[in-house]
Structure 1
């Protein structure tokens, strides 16, 4: 990756230091814990961190192969690049957003938009909103821009907080006649878009990789410190998954239904990841999926639905059992008819 001085362009190091120093107290107030660094050390730390972040994202925006051809120690190795992207989303690694923005503007020689700079953090360019929301740091920016925007659309369904009852696990819901399907990918659904319609739970496919636990955990950690009236959308989402997965069998069922893409090596690993994530998690007072929970519970509690589900699963799950059941019903009907005629003939005599 290029040397730090290549980022400065026409600006001097002094202008960067002054930009940070003039907002030093605001930067200190950003952190929850007391900053033990003296003024000079704090400015140096923020300067180096911000320059690295900006330069890394600038290099990421270059055409693929440019850095690799120069033997770049970061972009020449895919795993190093992905690890740095993950580290930029760690809750404990965040620095004030205004520091990153101010230094970016001072270094912006090619009129690059900040939106175009930060898109790698969103994974896909299409996930970046046209107008970036206000956020305290990069993690908050991705949380608000990628997830909260979709929550605003979901909120039109008038979710309301109430004393709710948890839903059954995936295998238990299947026994009640409920099926699972992934949301159509051609509609570009949000990860948080989970609906229940016509005895079907539609869920956007979740790719479980080695990095999935990290970004979910850091989003949940960020939500832990949000004000009480703010919706904790990722915590709500993780809680929904935990309710569905009470064992590895539930994870297996969701994988077979295409709801989960498992790159972790086993269904038990998926269950363990979700189980760890939801430990001591606080969901929103205005729980995102409260209406869905109500609808699912109302359907799954009906005994008739359970009986029909058992009948379909055990007797109509393949043509041969269905044919056998029909044949048995025909034979029983014939036997009853013969018995009736025999009784009528006997009493008629």
Structure 2
């Protein structure tokens, strides 16, 4: 009898729980980075001086920048536009903006606080990037400027704006930009070049999607634009693929060359031709890991069929670099530009980037992998690789091999002369 009551009580509890559970189908664009990505380098996803959006809002170490958010808003409202216009614009998109985030904790932020956050953060992004362009163009002096007087602050702000968890919807930024824009010839994308590490001309020439989720997604589109055009003409590669390390490929006769920069050359464009692997130069600095990790996180949450160019690129690097010796091989040929110190530091960065960075469903470098493996799989190239690995890996074994070859040659010559002298008629 007691078991029946217990079972009945559990049924009632579950029924009440389901009645109170509200499910609506949404397609969010921002998540908290899951543990499998975050555990390799947690700090890569956390802002250093400014919070954008709700996920890091209210952290004590980020509150100092709230002063500059207010300063930029007041500076903007000096124009003849009352704040009500901006507030009403945010109110009209508030619910759509909430659906942009996957976390339930967003529901705990009340409407006024959420709208205020979107307004302050959106205006901060716009005015900071505008001011960056003005400073770069000589319109504003750095000296005495609260933000641009310090390269340290500017560098950290550019870093924080590229974090996957530190975003607000792009449609909010665009709406605020249109309200505050008095130059009809200027688009918001004209301001994002400092974040892309590309030239203004390259950004202007990129055909960007109108449905970019957020600032990181927009920058991702710029950085992958030219490579996406190349990949659109090639077939997809679905099967799992792998290649040997740079050291092993070098022993198999493959040569590494830095790919010459050009207007049609993308930093992602790796090609293999005539036993030569051409790779654009990659500069590894203290900023590299964070930028790559956040672009990988962005691609991680894209729909399954979406191309994942940066993840595929990192997977390629991870295959090539299985030890510090591989880093040395690529550095010596100009493929890797090391701004971090020793090769071990670069290797550790690649290991952390490559952890859980699996090649995508339609792998961007499937054709390159096939060509490399076909070359390495030929018997002659295998023999050459074994010879180099076991007999030519240091000067002493090489000299021993040469000495043995010379001795063998002399023995053969001596044998020939002996035979000839024996057959010579007396």
Judge same fold: TM > 0.5, yes or no: yes
Aligned counterpart, 1:26? 96
Q: What is the CA deviation profile of residues 255-287 of structure 1, one whole-angstrom value per residue up to 9, with x for unaligned ones?
A: 111101111111111111111112222321111
Q: How far has the Cα of 1:159 moved from its partner?
A: 3.8
Aligned-pair CA distance for 1:25? 0.7
Pair 1:45 & 2:117 matched: yes
Pairing 1:236–2:309 present: no
Within 1, Cα distance between the matches of 2:342 and 2:407?
A: 46
Please state how far the C-alpha of 1:154 moved relative to its aligned partner.
2.7
For residues 272 and 177 of structure 2, what CA distance do their matches in structure 1 show? 44
Q: Which residue of 1 aligns with 2:76?
A: 7
Matched, 1:296 2:372: yes
Verify: 1:120 aligned to 2:194, yes or no: yes
Q: For residue 227 of structure 1, give the secondary structure of its aligned residue in structure 2.
A: coil
Alignment of 1:1-349 (within 5 A): 3-8=72-77, 9-34=79-104, 35=106, 36-64=108-136, 67-111=140-184, 112-124=186-198, 125-128=200-203, 129-134=205-210, 135-164=212-241, 166-187=242-263, 189-308=265-384, 336-349=412-425
Contact 1:224 1:282 in 2 (8 A): no
Quote the offset at 1:79 in angstroms: 2.0
Secondary structure of the 1:285 match is coil
Q: 2:421, 2:260 → 1: CA distance?
A: 63
Q: In 1, Cα distance between the equivalents of 2:263 and 2:124?
A: 36
Query: For residue 16 of structure 2, what is the aligned residue in structure 1?
Result: none
Deviation at 1:116, TM superposition (A): 1.4
- Cα separation, partners in 2 of 1:213 and 1:23, compared to 1, 3 Å: same
User: How many positions carry a matched residue from both structures?
Assistant: 344
Corresponding residue SS for 2:271: strand
Residue 70 of structure 1, CA deviation: 4.3
User: In the aligned structure 2, how far is the partner of 1:123 from the partner of 1:92?
Assistant: 21
* 1:53-79 C-alpha deviation (Å, 9 max, x unpaired): 000000011143554454112111112
Corresponding residue SS for 2:176? helix
Supply the distance in 1 between the matched residues of 2:143 and 2:335 (Cα, whole angstroms). 41
Gaps of 5+ in 2: 1-67
Alpha-carbon separation, structure 2, partners of 1:28 and 1:193: 37
CA–CA separation in structure 2 for the residues paired with 1:187 and 1:105: 31
Contact 1:159 1:289 in 2 (8 A): no
Question: With structure 2 as the length reference, what TM-score do the two structures score?
Answer: 0.74
Partner Cα distance (1:143, 1:185) in 2: 20
Q: Distance in 2 between matches of 1:140 and 1:47?
A: 20
- 8 Å CA contact 2:243, 2:319 repeated in 1: yes
Distance 2:128 2:182 in 1: 16
CA contact (8 A) 1:151 1:192 kept: no
Residue 145 of structure 1 deviates from its aligned partner by 2.5
- Kindly report the root-mean-square deviation, in angstroms, between the aligned alpha carbons of the 2 structures: 2.7
Matched residues in 1 for 2:234 and 2:102: separation? 36
Counterpart Cα distance in 2 of 1:331 and 1:272: 46
Change over 3 Å in CA distance of 1:192–1:335 after alignment to 2: same
Q: Which runs of 5+ in 1 are unaligned?
A: none
